[in-house]
Structure formats: C-alpha cells, structure tokens
Amino acid sequence: MKIAIIYGSDTGNTEHVAHLIQSGFGKDIVDLYDVASIDVDIFSQYSVFIFGIPTWYDGQLQSDWELMLKKMNTVHLNQRIVAVFGLGDQENWSRYFVDAMGWLAKKALACGATLVGRWPASGYDFEQSQGLVEADYFYGLALDEDQQPELTAERVSAWINQLSAEFVNSDTHLSIKNAA
C-alpha cells in the first residue's frame, strides 16, 4: 500500500509535520507532495491519502489548498481513503482553531472519500472550531506548533499508530466493496 501525503504550508510548520509523518510510516511507503506543485491527476494515482493544512486569517484555507479545492469540483474520491491533519493556534485564533482542517475534510467527503483518523478534542483549549466533527472529536489530527510544540511528536506518533490500524480495516472494507 502506497500513501500520498499532500500538504500546503505558508511558514513551514505543516511541511515539517508532513515530513514527520512520512518518516513515521517509512519513506518507502509514503510519497510527499506540496499541493502548490501538483494537479488533480494525483488523485487517480493513489488509494490512500493524508492531507495536511494550516488555517490562516480567521478560519481561511491555506492559499495553495484553496486553489486546489476549486479544481477538485470535478474530482471523485470514491474508493479512496483520506485522513486529514491541521495546524493552528488555539490561543490567538481561539474562535477559528484549525477551521481549515474541517473545510478540507468536508470537501474530501463531498468528493466521495472514506475519512479515517478522527482525533479527540481533549488536551486543547479553544472557543470554537470548524475542525470538529462532533463535540469531542476533530475530523483529524489537530496540532499547534505555536502553543503546544512539545506535544507534536507524541501526537503524531499516536496518530500514525491509529491510522495504521484504520487503513487496514478500511482497505478490507474497500476490497469487499470492489469485489461486489
């Protein structure tokens, strides 16, 4: 199974985490792409994706992802497994914490993807977030390199373990669906 990590990053934090995740899974199975330098044909080349996005300017998508999302209107992600991770700042943007992760997850779902990798919202302190799928869970891994950089490595490592199990389960599910 090959995995594609696709990230957008303005000041390098999300790019840094993308590399951490790639190293965690192993470079032999994970290919890394900056969303600014790829096109939508990438979505036909893999069946498992990890999308990484920071939130900017009061709940906005990172600009390169914003362009990609417009192009994704014609993309189908059926039979594709997607996990998302999002970077934000829970103290200075407490009402918009990791909003972009929510926008991206909703787009992946609208394109037909199977979403895995939900992450508990405990251990963070924020007012509001579009990154929440329900009260106690984010759509994916929320990271805060501004306020909690010391927690990133252990969060990433735990998420990789979680994803490893979920990818296998989803894969089985998909192969059953494919065979039907």
Ligand X SMILES: Cc1cc2nc3c(=O)[nH]c(=O)nc-3n(C[C@H](O)[C@H](O)[C@H](O)COP(=O)(O)O)c2cc1C
- Interaction site with ligand X (CB under 6 A): 9-14, 54-59, 87-89, 93, 96-99, 145-146
> Whose Cβ is closer to ligand X: residue 54's or residue 140's?
54
Given the structure tokens 């996990």, which residue do they identify?
83
Half-sphere exposure of 93 (CA within 13 A, CB side): 21
Considering the complex, state which of residue 9 and residue 170 has its C-beta at the smaller distance from ligand X: 9
Q: Which residues contact 85 (CB under 8 A, 6 or more apart)?
A: 17, 21, 50, 51, 52, 53, 101, 117, 140, 141, 142, 143, 159
Question: Shortest approach of ligand X to residue 140 CB, angstroms?
Answer: 14
Closer to ligand X by Cβ: residue 10 or 125: 10
CB burial of residue 18 (10 Å; 0-12, 13-18, 19+): buried
Q: Measured from the CB of residue 54, what is the shortest distance to ligand X in angstroms?
A: 3
> Which C-beta is closer to ligand X: that of 12 or that of 112?
12
Question: By beta-carbon distance, which residue lies closest to ligand X?
Answer: 88
User: What's the rounded Cα separation, in Å, for the pair 175 and 180?
Assistant: 9
Residue 177 CB, shortest distance to ligand X, in Å, is 35
For ligand X, the closer CB: 21 or 75: 21
Instruction: Provide, rounded to whole angstroms, the least separation between the CB of residue 89 and ligand X.
Output: 4
Minimum CB distance to ligand X, residue 80 (Å): 24
| Tokens (6 digits) for 82 | 């997607």
Cα 53 to Cα 142: distance, rounded to the nearest angstrom: 10
